[in-house]
Amino acid sequence: MRVFVDTNVVISALLFPNGKVAKVFSHLLEKHTVIISSYTKEECKEVFEKKFPAKINRIFIENCGKINLWHRIQNISIQNSK
């Protein structure tokens, strides 16, 4: 199944890697085809830079727990938004 996720899902999964949204998101990544728009991907970066600058290194550079979701997100199919 193809599943489209929005910015809120991605940010919640990244901020709370042990939370319910992260677990569901990980399941989607493993069992389904997850799709995000190029806009969503860029919006995630902008939100983190603006609202959570102290967490950027932990999320975007270091590995958090068993799975670094940001690195997995980089492999998601991108749908160009128009």
Domain count, the chain: 1
- Tell me the residue range of the domain where 58 lies: 2-79
Better pLDDT: 19 or 53: 19
For the cut 50, the answer to whether the pLDDT of residue 8 exceeds it is yes
User: Model pTM?
Assistant: 0.70
Which is nearest to 34 in space by CA: 58, 9, 60, 61? 9
Residue pLDDT, tens place only, 23-72 = 999 899 889 888 888 888 888 888 888 998 877 666 655 544 434 566 56
Better pLDDT: 13 or 81: 13
Q: What is the pLDDT of residue 21?
A: 94
